[in-house]
Structure 1
Amino acid sequence: MLRSWQKECVELAVKKYTASDKHFLCQATPGAGKTIMAALLAKTLFDKGMIDRVICFSPSVEVANNIKRTFGKIIGCSFDGSFTAVGASMTYQSLCSIPESTWDRLRKYRTFFIFDEIHHCSFSQDKSKINTWGERVVFHLQDIATYTLALSGTPWRSDALPIALVSYSNPEGELICDYQYSLIQAIRDNVCREPKIVLVDSNSISDGHDTYGSIAEFVKQAQSTYQEVLNNDSALRYLLKLAVLKLSEIRDSNPIAGGLVVASSVKHAEMINSLLIEEFNQTSTIVTYLHDNSTRKINSFKSSTEQWIVSVGMISEGTDIPRLQVCCHLSSIKTELYFRQVLGRILRSGKGKIEFAWLFTFAETRLVEFAERINIDIPGSCSYVDMECDSISVGEDIFRRFKPPLRDTCSKLKVNIDKLILGDLSSGLNTAYDERLLGCSLSNIQIKSLRTRVIEAFL
């Protein structure tokens, strides 16, 4: 069934194309159904006799294959790039290997180009800053294209460079979207789950010389890195235990619900996968570029009842696994773009009912900032109101005490839990495993008195 926002976007795009404007930018929150909307738009243009071919570009093989399946099903024609196909789906990496003769042949057709996650393609008047993908899009494809559709769930770049094919206001420099579907709208329509972000912190971190009152203080003042926190045995076990308990609770009512762990390295992923299986008695699979058959494992996980999937970067952007409802952000990448992309993996609902997406991470300064403004789709694009609650102390099960938040446009509830008593979640667990077998050295810092803070973004 076509969602109202998808129908509106398709109608607006066709209207703009008909008015001889060939470029269209759609910014829709991760998990809202951009691929289906794009396929419906392509079918509409075919039905109206406005195009002969459609070619899609995306950032990964996994996403490209998903686009190929979706477009083939909705358009009802072969979409494998063969001689008789009406279209093709490929990665941005392939842009560099396509010969000029292919582009020349495409000039004979009315071609509709779709660029998924267009923020991967930068453009600048300073040619030393433009990336190869952006250069190809700007200097090759936009002249060949009859129409273009640029898609993004997170339409900005961490390096602050402009994005190819998009427009910015002058002199403010703000992104101009032809159609925007925000996370707030998606939650209201029950298209996406409501995010709840659990930040794990400590008021007692020792490096053998000094003691620090928080993770943020430790990372800032000690001669150490955030990676040491990610590798710390007690902190890692504490966070994973919280996530395991939450997934278990969700699976009481939704037995197929799954969890995702985004690790900082292959060795880190292997250590986490071992902990989930051996210490927490969970079913788990690991997918990285070093492990065989990762794409097959991802596809298998989508339709299985396995509890966890652990990855480094293979399940971060564009990968659609609707049953994922819990995520542990344990990556060393601390950009807002990546944070939102990881959160987006657990937001997709599609069930038409209120659900919650739980993301667990550590209270590193930037991650806290990102969490506090997660209800803004584009940073700096709109204002919001903070509503503070008094600090509270709760018992063993923190999660059952939180009720669905009130609905109030452009506001956000922050729940500070500074006196949380959960006991030692790592007690009774076997810590005498061989670090060499896990392939990751544990941090030498000591982290005690772990506590959590829950941030709820709501309408």
Structure 2
Amino acid sequence: MKLRNWQSECIHSAISNYKSNKHFLALATPGAGKTAMASVLAKLLYDQNDIDLVICFSPSSIVANDFSEALSDQLKSHFDGTIGALGNSFTYQGLSTLGNKVWRLFDKYRVFVIFDEIHHCAGSNIKDANAWGKPIITMIKEKAAYTIALTGTPWRSDALPIALAEYCNDSGKIQCDYVYGLKQAIADNVCRIPQVVALDNDQITVVEGDETRHFTSFIDLLSQSIIPYSEIVTNTSVIEQLLIHSSHKLNELRTFNKEAGGLIVASSITHAWQIQLILKQVIGESALVVTSDESNGNELIRSFRHNQQKWIISVGMISEGTNIPRLQVCCYLSNVKTEMNYRQVMGRLLRITDAPNQQAIFFMPAEPKLVEYAYRVSQDIPENLEKVKFTQMDKEIITKANVLSESDEVINSDCNTLISATKQTISIGDTTFNVDERLTSSNDIPSIELDISIDKIMRIFGQFNHKELEIEGFEQLNISEQSIKKLSQYSSVAF
């Protein structure tokens, strides 16, 4: 297997690191090829007689299967935990259910452990660890022969420390043993240059009782906290316009690459089927819907990876680590607005292939946070998420059930007042439905529904317009000579 330069550098860095430290953290941008790199590293350690077994953990079963296949190919052995296997691949969800048969392996053998997207596992110690971080700290950290932790987004939205990671004491910044960012990957022709298109509207009207208010953009509307963002991404007009723009671009790409595919990210399972229906009625195209409701979801994703179907719609099953290189267009209709999710979804478009056109286009509503993320996407770690907080709990905390203090009663009372004010009936066009936005405190106090509603209607009258966001730092990066030669015959394609 021919390695990319960064993969070779990372492997050599890890081997050198293991002489003094058995834990290694590698940051590589989504789409760079972390699975292949870690698998080759495992083979090298095995061939050098430094390890006996390999165990891998990842955030989803489809990614776990990809690791199993990659490791099997490298080690020339089955990789399913059965007799004669050289290891196994698990999901993080399965960490808590692993029996003594697995944990005893760490006492008898030299085990190399691969952690994919390690940022899911939090904890600097047992007291501030989450459910996935605890077994890593208690069972693996000391007993593993070596580990490599991989991530494309090396931070957590809750600012907790990542398991096995090292941080600077003064700044709280994560210390990665090897870094391969998106700018480097694009310059090396390892990843595509992402293009972001934000869709907006200049005439939005909200009618609430006798009051009518007008807004000139989604940013203007959302800044008033009148309509939640979830109502924008489920609005039929918004869905139609984003699908039209996305479909036009995908059709353009497929004139040169018939395998180019599109990903539509929905907010819920119901939303996914709504999008499929609109796509069929407005554009006349079909789409594969893959959600947690489908028992064969992973098989459907693997099939889509290798066929020529245009569209796949998912809520969260196609995110970090899911490898579908032919995806080149994304229509982002998720109501999740975290930077981690944004970057991970965008990463699904960035894998370079041999196709003649290597554009990657990300369509989204012009929501302020998403627009901000677009301008920051060339950075490896966002400024406001660099620092982590370490929680020190030296004493055991004991709580008693069914005991409510006076202060708790005040909090519950205030919370219920907030909840009652957000119980709404929303009408969009001819459709009316109930929305119960439940506001809770940071302690997730259970909410209580009250019989109060506010009639509210949102209509979008204006012309939809879109703007291509120029991501700072990519304008000087050029497409490789090889790609230029492939594109020379297609004079109508602009980059």
Same-fold call, TM > 0.5? yes
Aligned pairs for 1:68-147 within 5 A:
68-124=68-124, 127=127, 129-147=128-146
Query: What letter matches 1:445 in structure 2?
Result: M
Distance 1:32 1:147, change over 3 A: same
Which stretch shows the higher mean deviation, 224-233 or 32-41? 224-233
Deviation of 1:366 (Å):
0.7
Match of 2:470 in 1: 456
Runs of 5+ in structure 2 lacking a partner? 387-427, 434-455, 478-495
Count residues in correspondence.
Answer: 404
- TM superposition shift of 1:232: 1.3
Q: CA 1:104/1:32 → structure 2, altered by over 3 Å: closer, same or farther?
A: same
- Letter paired with 1:106: F
| Alpha-carbon distance between aligned partners in 2 of 1:66 and 1:90, rounded to the nearest angstrom | 11
Residues of 2 paired with 1:147 and 1:269: CA distance? 42
Work out the CA distance in 2 between the residues paired with 1:123 and 1:106.
21
Q: Are 1:191 and 1:350, in contact at CA under 8 Å, matched by a contact in 2?
A: no
**2:189 is the counterpart of 1:217:** no
Q: 1:266, CA displacement in angstroms?
A: 0.5
C-alpha distance in 2, partners of 1:275/1:299? 25
| Ranges of 4+ aligned residues in structure 1 off by more than 6 Å | 431-436
Contact 1:190 1:350 in 2 (8 A): no
Q: Secondary structure at the match of 1:112?
A: strand
Which amino acid in 1 is paired with 2:255?
D
- SS class of match (1:130): coil
Aligned to 2:147: 148
2:467 corresponds to which letter in structure 1? R
Q: What CA RMSD, in Å, does the superposition of the two structures yield over aligned residues?
A: 2.2
Aligned-partner Cα distance in 2 for 1:181–1:275:
40
Distance 2:160 2:360 in 1: 31
Partner of 1:317: 320
Distance across 2 between alignment mates of 1:44 and 1:214: 55
CA contact (8 A) 2:276 2:286 kept: no
1:425-436 paired onto structure 2 within 5 Å: none
Query: Where does residue 25 of structure 1 map in the other structure?
Result: 25
Q: What residue number does 2:251 align with?
A: 248
Give the stretch that moved more between structures: 288-297 or 86-95.
288-297
Partner Cα distance (2:357, 2:154) in 1: 26
Q: Which residue of 1 aligns with 2:489?
A: none
What does residue 421 of structure 1 align with?
none
**For the residues of structure 2 that align with 1:456 and 1:33, how far apart are their CA atoms?**
26
Quote the Cα distance in structure 1 between the aligned partners of 2:225 and 2:114: 47
Q: Which runs of 5+ in 1 are unaligned?
A: 384-430, 437-442
Matches of 2:170 and 2:378, distance apart in 1: 26
Equivalent residue letter for 2:466 = T
Alpha-carbon distance between aligned partners in 2 of 1:336 and 1:206, rounded to the nearest angstrom: 29
Contact 1:121 1:131 in 2 (8 A): yes
Contact 2:219 2:366 in 1 (8 A): yes
Residue deviations 1:273-314 (CA, integer Å, cap 9, x gap) = 112223212231000011342211111111111100000000
Matched, 1:337 2:337: no
**Structure 1 residue matching 2:464: 3-state secondary structure:** strand
Offset, 1:344: 0.4
Match of 2:56 in 1: 56
Q: CA deviation at 1:202?
A: 1.5
What is the distance in 1 between the residues matched to 2:30 and 2:200? 27
The amino acid of 1:68's aligned partner reads S
Question: Relative to 1, partners in 2 of residues 1:354 and 1:78: Cα closer, same or farther, differing over 3 Å?
Answer: same
SS in structure 1 opposite 2:142?
Answer: helix
| Residue aligning to 2:232 | 229
Moved more, 71-80 or 37-46: 71-80
2:70 is matched by which residue type in structure 1?
A: T
Distance verdict in 2 for CA 1:319–1:175, change over 3 Å = same
Following superposition, the deviation at residue 102 of structure 1 comes to 3.1
**Corresponding residue SS for 2:363:** strand
Work out the CA distance in 2 between the residues paired with 1:222 and 1:146: 52
CA deviation after TM superposition for structure 1 residue 234, in Å: 1.4
C-alpha distance in 2 between matches for 1:433 and 1:303? 40
Distance 1:255-1:238 versus aligned 2 partners, 3 A rule: same
Q: Which residue of 2 aligns with 1:424?
A: none
Q: How far apart in 2 are the matches of 1:382 and 1:136?
A: 25
Alpha-carbon spacing, 1:84–1:451, altered in 2? closer, same or farther (3 Å): same
Of structures 1 and 2, the larger Rg is shown by 2
Distance change (3 Å), C-alpha of 1:125 and 1:7 = closer
* AA matched with 1:104: R
Q: Which residue of 2 aligns with 1:173?
A: 172
Specify the code of the residue in structure 2 equivalent to 1:61. Answer: S
Amino acid at match of 1:148: T
Q: Is the 8 A contact 2:256 2:356 kept in 1?
A: no
Q: Distance in 2 between matches of 1:240 and 1:435?
A: 23
CA distance in 2, matches of 1:33, 1:242: 30
Quote the Cα distance in structure 1 between the aligned partners of 2:181 and 2:384.
11
Deviation at 1:222, TM superposition (A): 4.3
Judging changes above 3 Å, is the alpha-carbon distance between structure 1 residues 3 and 142 closer, same or farther for their aligned structure 2 residues?
A: same
Match of 1:299 among 295, 298, 302: 302
Aligned to 2:409: none
Rounded to whole Å, the distance in 1 between the matches of 2:135 and 2:164 is 11
**Aligned AA for 1:252?**
T
- Aligned residues of 2:105 and 2:111 also touching (Cα < 8 A): no
Worse-superposed segment, 212-221 or 56-65: 212-221
The DSSP-based 3-state class of the residue aligned with 1:351 is: coil
Which position in structure 1 is the counterpart of 2:382?
379
Take 1:186 and 1:198, find their aligned partners in 2: how far apart are those partners?
A: 22
